[in-house]
Each structure stands twice: as C-alpha cells, then as structure tokens.
C-alpha cells in the first residue's frame, strides 16, 4: 500500500516494484455532511487568514445548478450536468462525460464503441496524479451520441474526456468553450464550435475565452441581461419545467478512514452473513443503524455488526509478525483465531471458530474487520483526553470537559492547515452534536510556529546531514539555554536557520544574570540590598518598562523582543553598584517562563519559597513609566539635523526657539524662509524651509 507520491512511473519509489491499482473494501467517514458547517464556522475562530483560506479552498463550496439534457433518440433518458454558469447555456456547443460515467456504455453509438473502449482503458491506466499532471494536453473521444440543449433545442455532441472527473458534481458537464478556459482549449484542439454568449459589460474588448462578468448576447430571450440575473432566471425557468435546480457542490470528499496495516485501532466491527443478520438485529433493538453496511464476496452478502458498547475497546491481537498479509488486506487477516470467530451478539465475547459453537442463542459465526484506523483516530481528540486520561467510561468526564473547555491557544505547524485541523474540527462537531462536548469548535485561537532550519538554511533532514539534536545542546548548554535561544532567534512564526554560535549569546546572558544574583562563593551577591529605594531612578523606570514589555511580549507571542528587553535590564543591573532585592526577584519572575530551572534555583537561593511558579505575576506601575524629559528630534525638510532633551509636553513656540538656538540645526535654517512647521509633541519638530 503506497501513497500517490510514493509511486514513480508505475513503480514504487523505494525498491522499484511494480504498482497496481486495486479496489479494496474500506471505511470512510462522512465529513461531507459537515461541509457547510466546517466552512461557515471558520468565521468565528481566531486563526491566521491564510489557514482559513486554505480550509475554504479545500472544502471548495460552489453554487450552481444541475441541469438535465435530454438524450437524442432515447425516450426520457437524460444527462445530468452540474454548472456554475447556467447563464452561458446558449453557448454550450458540446458535452463531456468522465470516462467512468455509468451512462457512457448506454449512449455510445455502435460505430464509436471501439474508440471509446480504447480511450476508457487508457484513462483507467493513468494514476490520479498523471491525470492531473498531464493537464496541458487534453484528450477525448466522440461518443457518437447527441444531447438536446433544453433552452434552444440545439443538437450537442457528447464527448468522453478525462478532464472531467467522475468524483465531482455529476461527472458530466456542459462545455461552453467561449467562457471556460478548459473547454476552450479542448474545443480548439478538436475543432469544435465556439459561441460567445457573454460580452463585457463596459463594451470593452473581448478576448475568448472570456471568463469575467458581463451581459448576455446570442441568448434568445435572455440576451441583454446581466449575468448574475441571468443565472437566477435560467435556473428558475428550467426548474419550472422540472429539468433543473439550483445546487451546491463541494470539493471536499468523504474521508478515507481505513489503513491496511497492523498498528492502528481495529474497527469494532464483525461481519456476519446476511442470513444471520435478522436474528442479530432482533437482539440489539435500538443499538444498530436502520440499515446495515454491507459488502459482497464470492456471491455472499455480509452485514456489518458493531460490537456492543460493553465490549469496547477492541484491542489488537498479540502477534508474532505484523508483516503484510500478502493479499492486500491488513496483517490482521492472518490472525485466524482472532479473525474467524463465534461471536456473542449480546456481550461481544468471541471464541475462535476452530472451536465448537458455544451454547446459547446469542452466538453467531462472524469475521472481524481487518482494516485498522489511521493516526488521525487519535490526533482528532487527544486534546480532550488529556483532561481525564484514565476515565474508563467516556472520553472525559462532563464536568472536566466543561471546566477546562478547549485549548485557549493551539500552536502547531502550518502543514496541518487542512488535514489535522479540519479533521479535528469535524470530530469535535460530531461530539458536540452527540452532546459530549459543550463547544462547537475545538481550537478558538490558532498560531503556526515556524520551523528551525539547518545551519545551511535548508530544512533539517538526515540525508542533508544538517540535523541538530536538542539532546546535544541540552547536554552542552542546558535546556534553559536551548529554550531561551529558540525563542530569541526571531519571530515565532518565522522559519529560521540554526546558528551554533548564536546560542553562546543567550548562554552568556543567563550566566551573567546568575552572577548578578549569586557571588562566586555561592551566596547572594552582596550588591543586592534589602533597602527598597536602593535603585536609581533610571533602574526603577527600566524595571517597570521591562515588566510591561515582557508581559506584553508574552501575550503577543513576541518572545524575542521580550528576551532582548530582559537583556537590557540585566545589563543595567550589572552597571549598578546596588540593586534592591525586590528588583532582582521581579526579574527572576519575568525570566521564569523562559528559563524555568535557573529561575527556580535563584528564587530559592534568594530565600523565597514556595516555587516561583506560585508567585503572582509582577505588575508595573503606569506612573513609573512617565518621563519628565524626552528627546525631541529636529528635522529640516524631513532630514534629521539634531536632537535635544526637552521637558515633556513642550509648546511649539518653545520647541521652535530651541531649534533655532540649536547649533546643529541653525546652519540649515539661517537665512531661509520658514514655510511650514510640523510639531508632534514629545517626538519631532520638522521645519520646512525654502
């Protein structure tokens, strides 16, 4: 079993083994039933716009219409197409059906049978990737059949082409080459007619294919209408005749939820013969779906019977080997004793089928499902299980689910934008509908951290040999240094190259702070005094600035600037002869989330207990942040020509007088006309002279 990208030229990327496509019995989860809600509820979450857009594109909602085209010469049979452009119906010059469309056999004219069969065979041999990758050259074959355009009775040839996908819409389209790039390319290639039915609204020039909005032309009674209006009218008119209706389509497909490998949660399903199922169903009233999932093999139909709740969870059997089964089924297919069983419908108990049938009416012959679940089966709800990991009766207790709620902030890589983050939303909504969780969305606020690249600026990988192991850094510098450096490198969301020398900087910073707190003898640094007013005015002000900046930085996830502010603070402490104990303790607290081990040790050595983690977060005093002097910048014609420390809230007249008297500014304005003065208090004085 390989993923698409593991197949190269029909062979496995590793080993070069031939690869074939095979239909397997698999399970899918009906995520499509939630498509509209998954789309609409994106409005309510605080996520990066780019991620929301990716999910929107993935869900791919598009509004349009399903229209029925009568088939020529076959009474009553119709070809249903989906289009987002019913307004261009008069421009339809041919139809296209996907090669896999079930009606292809029905409509193909005898003379075209051979050509169509050959084309279908060729298309089937292509992988999905080939069908999309080779998009440049469109190919197709005429079926020999015609459809009738419902608005004007025109005879329209039906082609078979693999640029139309069976998995989307109805698997058939009406082609309007004048107003669709793909249809245009195909029509030119096969010399099919092209009829323009939309003209630019502003009367401007029109180059086909013309896909922008405009007004209808060559469209009978609809000519002259604006296209949006025409969409509504044509759809409504066809609906009135019973041959069309407005619909919505999604790109989102149902979610293939089974894997053919050993590791993975086994499906709690037992397959029983269709003949036995009614007896089973009678014992499990209210516990089974109205219609069982079924499949047929060797002429026998089997019905899916879920294990009773008391028998959950189903665990994997102990095996000697979990190598592939050889048949395409999972390795579980070889665990005969686990697989082929007498199954107790009421209790879920099982006995190997090699044993005699146990006594009692509840026992039925069954075969377990051999597919296993993908990794998503766990990643979709782990954040709920963390709340109550040992709960044996449910995901987590309702009280804990209510108390803790969902994660306040979810940090994860952008590579999860459409898979994990969409699947987990889907599960959460299903759980919400089932009354298990009290919220509709799992991750209210999302943030994508960047990845750390190798020293060479490339993604770390073993093959490139640029991998840096955190264990090595922890061994040489400690985990506090590593943690601090990762945060100091740059903005959290950016990807950044690893710099082995850069880590020395933050390591030195931590050592310097340690020395400020603890002397070489291991006792508190004698410069730390208990006198509350020991700090200079500047140091006090800097402390309050630092408390504010670090707190704001944490809230905004700007750790790099928070750390640089702490460096500025510690540099200032180092230059001071005395520092008050409360100031040192405050800085320890600020550092604690960044370098928890070091902070905890210093906290204790400076005589504090209990843990620094339990101390309330420091508050800054707004009054301590205000300054009485500010640096006013003088500009002449927008150029910096000097600056001066001035009292706050200086008047413009005073500022102007200072500028005129300033020896650096004066030469630039002397003897010139002062045309304009721009004064931004406490910041800048710009003199425009001519």
Partner RNA sequence: GCCCGGAUGGCGAAAUGGUAGACGCACGAGACUUAAAAUCUUGUUUCCGUAAGGAAGUGUGGGUUCGAGUCCCACUCCGGGCACCA
**Per CB under 7 A, which of residues 155..214 are in contact with RNA?**
162-165, 167-171, 173, 180, 182
Note if the bond before 570 is cis, omega within 30 degrees: no
Comparison of 77 and 568: residue with beta carbon closer to RNA:
568
> What DSSP string runs through 267-316?
P-EEEEETTTHHHHHHHSTTSS-SS--EEEETTEEEEEEEPPGGGPSP-P
Site string for RNA, 383-422 (x = CB under 7 A): -------------------------------xx-xx----
Helical pair 479-488 and 470-477, crossing angle rounded to 10 deg: 120
Sign of the CA dihedral running 104, 105, 106, 108: positive
Quick one: DSSP state of residue 266? B
Site string for RNA, 586-625 (x = CB under 7 A): ----------------------------------------
Tokens of 474: 């922890």
Contacting RNA within 311-340 (CB under 7 A): none
Among 143, 235, 589, 635, binds RNA (CB under 7 A): 635
Does 54 bind RNA (CB under 7 A)? Our answer is: yes
Closest CA to 59 of 70, 67, 51: 51
Contacting RNA within 525-584 (CB under 7 A): 558, 560-561, 563-564, 567-568, 571, 574-575
Closest CA to 587 of 484, 510, 655, 520: 510
Comparison of 296 and 629: residue with beta carbon closer to RNA:
629
Contacting RNA within 645-664 (CB under 7 A): 664
Among 283, 496, 541, 660, binds RNA (CB under 7 A): 496
Q: How far is the CB of 217 from RNA (least distance, A)?
A: 19
Among 7, 19, 27, 62, binds RNA (CB under 7 A): 62
Cα 311 to chain center, whole Å? 35
Among 412, 502, 551, 593, binds RNA (CB under 7 A): 502
Among 506, 510, 547, 659, binds RNA (CB under 7 A): 506
Determine contact, residues 534/578, Cβ cutoff 8 Å. Answer: yes
Contacting RNA within 451-470 (CB under 7 A): none
Among 57, 124, 228, 661, binds RNA (CB under 7 A): 57
Size of the site for RNA (CB under 7 A): 81
Alpha carbon distance 169, 77 (integer Å) = 19
Comparison of 540 and 637: residue with beta carbon closer to RNA:
637
Q: How far is the CB of 677 from RNA (least distance, A)?
A: 9
> What is the DSSP pairing of strand 579-580 with strand 528-529?
parallel
**Part in contact with RNA (CB under 7 A); list of ranges 282-290, 302-310, 348-356, 486-494:** 486-494
197 contacts: CB under 8 Å, gap ≥ 6: 87, 88, 89, 90, 91, 176, 178, 179, 216, 217, 218, 219
Contacting RNA within 108-137 (CB under 7 A): 131-132, 134-135
Comparison of 520 and 609: residue with beta carbon closer to RNA:
520
Does 27 bind RNA (CB under 7 A)? Our answer is: no
Q: What are phi and psi of 663, to 5 degrees?
A: -70, -20
Question: What separation in angstroms does the CA of 439 have from each of 33, 432, 444, 626?
Answer: 19, 6, 10, 44
Say whether 52 sits in a helix, a strand or coil: helix
Q: How far is the CB of 334 from RNA (least distance, A)?
A: 35
Alpha carbon distance 2, 17 (integer Å) = 11
Q: How far is the CB of 550 from RNA (least distance, A)?
A: 13
Comparison of 142 and 498: residue with beta carbon closer to RNA:
498
Among 297, 393, 639, 649, binds RNA (CB under 7 A): 639
């Amino acid at each position: 079993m390989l993923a698409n990208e593991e197949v190269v030229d029909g062979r496995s990327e590793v080993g070069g083994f031939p690869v074939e496509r095979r239909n397997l019995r698999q399970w899918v989860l009906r995520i499509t039933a939630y498509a509209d809600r998954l789309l609409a509820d994106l409005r309510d979450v605080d996520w990066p716009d780019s991620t929301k857009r990716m999910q929107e594109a993935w869900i791919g909602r598009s509004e349009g219409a399903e229209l029925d085209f009568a088939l020529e010469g076959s009474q009553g049979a119709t070809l249903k197409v989906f289009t987002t452009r019913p307004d261009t119906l008069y421009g339809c010059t041919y139809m296209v059906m996907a090669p896999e469309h079930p009606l292809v056999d029905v409509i193909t004219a005898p003379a075209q049978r051979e050509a169509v069969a050959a084309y279908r065979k060729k298309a089937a041999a292509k992988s999905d990737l080939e069908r999309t990758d080779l998009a440049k050259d469109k190919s197709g074959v005429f079926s020999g059949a015609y459809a009738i355009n419902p608005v004007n009775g025109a005879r329209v040839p039906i082609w078979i082409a693999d640029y139309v996908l069976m998995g989307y819409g109805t698997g058939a389209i009406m082609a309007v080459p004048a107003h669709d790039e793909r249809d245009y390319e195909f029509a030119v290639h096969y010399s099919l007619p092209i009829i323009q039915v939309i003209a630019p609204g502003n009367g401007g020039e029109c180059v086909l294919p013309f896909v922008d909005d405009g007004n209808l032309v060559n469209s009978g009674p609809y000519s002259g209408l604006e296209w949006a209006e025409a969409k509504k009218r044509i759809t409504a008119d066809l609906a009135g005749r019973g041959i069309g209706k407005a619909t919505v389509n999604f790109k989102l497909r149902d979610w293939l939820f089974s894997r053919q490998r050993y590791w993975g949660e086994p499906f709690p399903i037992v397959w029983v013969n269709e003949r036995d199922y009614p007896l089973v169903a009678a014992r499990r009233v209210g516990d089974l779906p109205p219609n069982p999932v079924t499949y047929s093999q060797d002429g026998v139909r089997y019905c899916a019977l879920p294990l009773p709740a008391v028998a959950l969870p189903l665990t994997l059997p102990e095996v000697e080997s979990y190598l592939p089964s050889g048949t395409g089924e999972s390795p579980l297919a070889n665990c005969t004793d686990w697989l082929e069983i007498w199954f107790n419908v009421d209790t879920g108990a099982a006995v190997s089928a090699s044993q005699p049938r146990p006594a009692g009416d509840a026992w039925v012959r069954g075969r377990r499902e051999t597919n296993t679940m993908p990794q998503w089966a766990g990643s979709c709800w782990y954040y709920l299980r963390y709340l109550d990991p040992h709960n044996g009766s449910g995901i987590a207790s309702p009280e804990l689910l209510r108390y803790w709620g969902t994660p306040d902030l979810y940090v994860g890589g952008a590579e999860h934008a459409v898979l994990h983050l969409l699947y987990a939303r889907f599960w959460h909504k299903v759980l919400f509908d089932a009354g298990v969780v009290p919220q509709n969305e799992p991750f209210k606020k999302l943030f994508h951290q960047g990845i750390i690249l190798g020293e060479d600026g490339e993604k770390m990988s073993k093959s490139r040999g640029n991998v840096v192991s955190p264990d090595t850094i922890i061994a040489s510098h400690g985990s506090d240094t590593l943690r601090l450096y990762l945060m100091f490198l740059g903005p959290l969301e950016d990807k950044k190259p690893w710099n082995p020398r850069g880590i020395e900087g933050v390591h030195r910073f931590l050592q310097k702070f340690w020395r400020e707190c603890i002397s070489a003898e291991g006792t508190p640094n004698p410069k730390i005094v208990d006198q509350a007013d020991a700090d200079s005015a500047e140091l006090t002000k800097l402390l309050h600035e630092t408390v504010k900046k670090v707190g704001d930085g944490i809230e905004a996830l700007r750790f790099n600037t928070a750390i640089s502010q702490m460096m500025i603070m510690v540099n200032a402490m180092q230059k001071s002869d005395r520092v008050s104990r409360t100031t040192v303790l405050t800085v320890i607290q600020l550092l604690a989330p960044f370098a928890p081990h070091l902070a905890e040790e210093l906290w204790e050595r400076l005589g504090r207990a209990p843990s620094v983690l339990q101390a309330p977060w420091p508050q800054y005093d707004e009054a301590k942040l205000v300054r009485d002097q500010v640096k006013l910048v003088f500009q002449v014609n927008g150029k910096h020509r000097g600056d001066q420390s001035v009292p706050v809230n200086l008047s413009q007249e005073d500022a102007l007088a200072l500028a005129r008297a300033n020896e650096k500014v004066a030469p630039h304005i002397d003897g010139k006309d002062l045309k304009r003065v721009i004064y931004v208090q406490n910041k800048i004085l710009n003199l425009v002279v001519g």
